[in-house]
Amino acid sequence: MVFYDRAAGTPLASEREVPNNMDLMLRSSSHRAAIILAGGEGVRLRSVTRLITGQDDVPKQFCPMMDGLTWLETTRRRVARLVPLERTFFVVKQGHRRFYEPLLEDPKRSQILAQPCDRGIAAAMLYGVVRARRLGPDATVGVFPSDHYVSDDERFIRQVEHAFDAVDRYPTLAVLLGIVPDRAEPSYGWIEPARQLSSWTPNLFRVRRFWEKPSPQFARSLMAGGCLWNSAVIVARASALETMIAESSPDMARALAALARAGVEDDRAFEAAFTRLPTVGFSEHVLAQGPSNLAVQRVEGVGWSDVGEPQRLIDTLQGLKSRPAWFDNLTLEYRKRFAGRMET
C-alpha cells in the first residue's frame, strides 16, 4: 500500500490492492475498536459545572449536562452503536478516579487506562492505541473525545462507519471527521479539504492543510471556501496512528509505548516515567506536520460543538427544544455576563 501524493493527486492504492466487498464484510466488525479520551480538566467550563454540581473541580465530561447523563455516558452510548464495550478503551486521569469509577464499573480493569498526569492528547491517544494493538495486527480504532455535543448520534456514527470502511479499503489511511460548519467559529480547528479521494464515496477528501484557531475574518473565509470543523474524531489502523505520532514525537512515542506494553500502570516507576514525558498536542504537533495518509470525511446535517466555553454551551442549549433543568436556574447576572443574547 502506497501513500498518496497530495500535490500530484495520485491515488492511495490501485484497484487490485483494494479488498472486495465480501472481504470487507468479513473483517469489518471483528477488528474494530474504540478509544474514548476522558482525561481533560475542562477548566474553561468550571463556572457551569460548579453551578450544576455545587463542586469546584468537576471536569465537564463527568458533569451531568443532558437528561441527567454526563458527556462521558453520552459518548459511551454513541460509540456503542458501532463498537462493543469489550473493544472500547477509556483513557482517564488518576486524579479523577472518584468521578470516573462510578461511570466505568462494567468495563474490565484493563480497558481503563489511567494517566498519572496530563501530557497532551497525543500521549493519551498513543496510550490507548498501544493497548488496542493487543487486539490484533489489523486492529482499527476510532478515537473519540468524551465531552462533545452531537445532535444526531445515529447519523454521526453512520459517518464514522464510513470512515472505518475507508480504512478497510485503504489500510494506511487515517480519516478525520470534519463537520460542515454553521458559523465562522474562530476558536475551532479547521480542515481544508483537497480533492475527493476516490469515486466510491463522494464525501471523503484528501486534506490540504489545517488551520488552528483562525482570526474571525479568516474563519469567515474558511467557511466560504468549504472548509470543515475538526471534530477531533479520527479513524485509522492502530499501527498507522502509532506511526504518525512516532514520526512527530519519537522520544515520547518510544518511552510511552515501552511503558504501555510493559503493563505496569499501577507501579510507581510507571508514574515517575509518565511524568517525565513531554506534553504533545495531537493537532499542533502531529496533524500540523501534514501526514500524507490523512483524509477527511465530510459530515453534514449533524449539529456539533466541543462545548468548551460557557458561551458555546449556552448557544448550543439555546437552540434545543428540550433543555436541561439546570439551564433555567442560571442567575440573571450570569446570563448577562455569558449570554447577552439569551431569552429572559
Q: Which residue has the cell 474553561?
A: 44
Mean pLDDT of all residues in 95-121: 93
**Mapping DSSP to helix (H, G, I), strand (E, B) and coil, where does residue 54 land?**
coil
182-194 pLDDT, tens digit each: 999 999 999 999 9
pLDDT of residue 220: 97
Long-range contacts of 18-23 (CB under 8 A, 24+ apart): 18/169, 18/170, 19/168, 19/169
User: Where residue 262 falls among pLDDT bands split at 50, 70, 90?
Assistant: low
Q: Which of 3-17, 223-237, 251-265, 276-290 has the lowest mean pLDDT?
A: 3-17
What is the architecture of the domain spanning 19-308?
A: Alpha-Beta Complex (3.90)
**Pairwise CA distance, residues 215 & 212, whole Å:** 9
pLDDT reading at 92 higher than 50: yes
Check residues 325 and 107 and name the one with the higher pLDDT. 107
C-alpha cell belonging to residue 4: 498518496
Prediction pTM value: 0.87
pLDDT reading at 16 higher than 90: no
pLDDT reading at 334 higher than 70: no
Count each helix (H run) and each strand (E run) in the chain, helices first: 12, 13
**Pairwise CA distance, residues 153 & 108, whole Å:** 25
Q: What percent of the chain has pLDDT over 70?
A: 85
Q: Which residues contact 222 (CB under 8 A, 6 or more apart)?
A: 184, 190, 192, 211, 214
131-150 pLDDT, tens digit each: 898 898 899 999 999 999 99
**Pairwise CA distance, residues 309 & 329, whole Å:** 18
Please answer whether residues 71 and 126 qualify as being in contact, where contact means their C-beta atoms are separated by less than 8 angstroms: no
Most trustworthy range by pLDDT among 15-24, 153-162, 290-299: 153-162
**Pairwise CA distance, residues 57 & 289, whole Å:** 35
**Pairwise CA distance, residues 41 & 205, whole Å:** 33
**Mapping DSSP to helix (H, G, I), strand (E, B) and coil, where does residue 218 land?**
helix
Domain boundaries, the chain: 19-308
pLDDT of residue 254: 83
C-alpha cell belonging to residue 247: 514520526
Please answer whether residues 72 and 100 qualify as being in contact, where contact means their C-beta atoms are separated by less than 8 angstroms: yes
**Pairwise CA distance, residues 261 & 339, whole Å:** 47
295-318 pLDDT, tens digit each: 999 999 999 999 988 888 888 888
201-215 pLDDT, tens digit each: 789 999 999 998 999
Burial class for 266, CB neighbours closer than 10 Å (0-12, 13-18, 19+):
exposed
Mean pLDDT of all residues in 165-179: 95
**Pairwise CA distance, residues 73 & 158, whole Å:** 19
